[in-house]
Structure 1
Amino acid sequence: MTPDAIHELWSLVESTQTNVLLNLDDTTLVQWLIKRLKQKGIQDTAACSTYISSRLPLIRDLASDRNLIYQ
């Protein structure tokens, strides 16, 4: 993944509502994030998918922490 793609992914994670990040199953969440990255012009979806899949626990932890802050 390029640095730009990584930046776009984590910006997307931070701007996405926590209920989306926490309630979708793993496969659907990866597909959802990939679709949004494609909309932002990111093309290397195979590498993105692998990267996202390996970071799902972190993505969910961040969303969970954010969810606790705003409750």
Structure 2
Amino acid sequence: MPLDKTMAMHAETEALLMFAARRKHLDKIILPALAQVQWVVSDRFTDVSFAYQGGSRGLDSDKLAILEQWV
């Protein structure tokens, strides 16, 4: 939560931004590395969203699951 509570971000907006960043990370880092047969280690990739946006922010886990499949 930002210091100025009037600037708080909606939980769905936050989740969309997180998954958009993951998609970009996939395209720019993970998929090129895999294409070059390199090891890729990425912990807590989508589990973080289920914990933070789902558990902490109360976003429906079904919505997060849809974003996870889409990304």
TM class by smaller structure: 0.3 to 0.5
TM-score normalised according to structure 2 size: 0.39
Which protein is richer in helix relative to its size?
1
TM-score normalised according to structure 1 size: 0.39
